[in-house]
Structure 1
Amino acid sequence: MQTAFIQGMGIGGSLIIAVGAQNAFVLKQGIKRAYPLPIALLCSIIDALMITAGVAGLGHIIETFPTIKHVASFGGAAFLIWYGANALKASFVTKGMEMDHAQNADTLRKAILTTLGISLLNPHLYLDTVVLLGSISTQFEDAHRPWFGAGAVLASFIWFFSLSFGARLLAPIFSRPAAWRYLDRFIWLTMWSIAAAIIWPYLAAI
């Protein structure tokens, strides 16, 4: 039981911490101090639901019906291209950190909708949490699989809350406009790189 929990934390954490679209978005919002609590909580809950579904066996359904994966792939790639284009556009606008107005930059509704989009429209979420973690969990006995999932869920909560609230420590750096330009271009490259990785297998098969 303890071994399953620890392995769940380690494997889950290694997948979640990897630089991706979701983490880049959470980082930027955390630096802006724009709704860090609801964003961290929503990302953690989404991960928890996906991990739980994977441990329960949903990954087998996704593998059985590849159409689900294809639809999610093209929809997610389109969203990431759109979000990356906006980040690239923002990188050419001179701005610094205006902490007093950070909360007004984005509405809570927009922040939540973007968080949902950046999470649920990214097929890597399903591959990492539902399929991969779900598959790894099968090495444990039925009684221990929930503990593996619990460890992965805890790692997700720790990571997203640490990233969301810890990002504010970078605020002094982002008082300079150049820092924002680099961050926006990093986000642009991250989003488009992930979109390209999603689309490439389909292009290679043509």
Structure 2
Amino acid sequence: MSSLGGQPILILKEGSQRTRGRDAQSGNIAAAKAVASAVRTTLGPKGMDKMLVDTIGDVVITNDGVTILKEMDIEHPAAKMMVEIAKTQDDEVGDGTTTAVVIAGELLKRAEDLLDQDVHPTVIAHGYRTAADKAQDILDEIAIDVRPDDMVLLRKIADTAMTGKGAEAAKEKLTELVVKAITMVADAD
């Protein structure tokens, strides 16, 4: 952006639109919610697989949120942020990508309801930060320590983490391997 006689000059690509204010907010929220909607049906024990076909005709069938989002050709900046949520979740945790995107979409949906009631965006953001702090406090309260010698609990955790990951055929053996690996590298306090 440059200026001419104190007036800014904005150059946009052909066919693009410029929106401001509430219209821009609505457009951004709609784009982000569309991304969340695309992966929502893959969640849970009855989650459905998606069949993805790329530009050269290769087919991928998956219910992995990050895989689905990586394959989508997304141009909208707000929608791209939803993809970044999934990538960050995948990089940091290795699981929960779909859940993270669906929760973000639901938070945006609720924020849109508040915007429609003329609640200022900074008030909404402050409310979400306060809620996140409270949720962290509650998680800290209900968290339990897991000792490296608590084999029953370690097996339950490993078993739960593998549920729905396509490991059902070898789940018992994998659970034993995971628990064995954890106990070998755990810092005994």
Alignment TM-score, normalising by the size of structure 2 = 0.36
Which protein shows a greater Rg? 2
Larger relative contact order (CA 8 Å, sep ≥ 6)? 1
The structure carrying a bigger strand percent of its residues is 2
